[in-house]
Amino acid sequence: MGLHAILPFPAIDDGVSQKLRFFAAHKDEFDTLFIGSSRVYFQISPAIFDGVMRESGSPTRSFNFGIGGMFLPESAYVLEQLLTTKPRNLRWVFIEYDELQTKWAFENQTSRRALYWADWKRTSLLLRKLTDVGIDAVWLPSLKKLRDIILCRKGEANRYKQLIFHTAQFERNFVNVARGGDILDYFWGRDISKWDAKYLGAAGDGYIPKTGGMSASQAAAYERALGLAMGTNPPIAFISPYTVEAYRQCAQKVRAIGAKPILLVTPSATQFNIAYGDNNARPPGGVIMTFNNPRAYPNLYRSSARRDREHLTKSGAEEFTRIMAVNFAQLIQAGEVK
């Protein structure tokens, strides 16, 4: 583990390493950070956000650290790596709020994206969730539950596969599998003077706008599904106590450097309400900004504003950014965020 701690950050695809190195080199230039999945990466424009904030009298300089497919627990690990650079001027950190993910697509399970974040802090939460043991300091899985998982009873076959996968990933990460190449790459292979606009965007602020939209048939299907979803039983996002604990840890890390965490629910068309799956679960401290309500934000749910049920078009993303910035400025003016 000591060796793991001193090894350079691994070369991770999809812009993770590029964005981390860029942020580390410019960390004191930013006071606002957005971190999350493609729903952050392609949907929050720092230029528009900063413009609205400047007009409101609370100027910001923001950076978009969205990465395609980056959810908990990966996002929590990346956030900690960002904070270890000790950005001196960071004031606000917007963290995408979503359920802790235990599944990885089969085709991605052998990628480094599925490995580099698998430390004990992250893995233990995944194992707790998979075995339903709670979040107490001392935990032991129920022998009956463990037996059902191992024997694949009561529909537990997928859970068993996930349990084996995450345990193996932790072991591989612990023994630094395939890390030798990172040392060579760190000293001889990386040119940190060149930044890739493919990941950082033309403005170098981490935002990549996505063009295109739904076809006529896709739009019609989307509108039908949206109408049904907005009926008497709208889809609910159940947040587990394991997710709450993960965000509590994130918020604690953000506060430790003197910044404020803001939890952000993006305008999803598949889940409209948040409920906590355990009576003892409480939302982690801090502000939660939610935009997954088509009645409150109808313009963000028009078929013409969406690329699919989860993502906005370029114009939709720009509108979302403006709405979010206006709402955030109002929170500052009301004294709810300082």
Kindly report which listed range (32-36, 214-218, 270-274) carries the lowest average pLDDT score.
270-274
161-210 residue pLDDT tens:
888 899 999 998 888 655 444 544 544 455 555 667 789 999 999 999 99
pLDDT on residue 187: 44
Question: Where are the chain's structural domains?
Answer: 13-107+183-333
pTM for the model stands at 0.89
Tokens 């709402």: give the residue: 327
87-102 residue pLDDT tens:
999 999 999 999 999 9
Q: Is the pLDDT of residue 316 over 80?
A: yes
Tokens 């896709």: give the residue: 218
Q: Which residue has the higher pLDDT, 272 or 174?
A: 174
pLDDT on residue 183: 46
Tokens 């350079």: give the residue: 8
* Phi, then psi, of 328 in degrees rounded to 5: -70, -40
* Phi, then psi, of 264 in degrees rounded to 5: -125, 120
Tell the CATH superfamily of the 13-107+183-333 domain: SGNH hydrolase (3.40.50.1110)
* DSSP codes, 289-309: EE---TTT-GGGGSGGGBSSS
Mean pLDDT of the chain: 86
201-212 residue pLDDT tens:
999 999 999 989
Percent of the chain surpassing pLDDT 70: 84
Asked if the bond preceding 241 is cis, omega within 30° of 0, the reply is no
* 204 in Cβ contact with 195 (< 8 Å): yes
pLDDT on residue 76: 98
105-138 residue pLDDT tens:
766 777 888 899 999 999 999 999 998 888 877 7
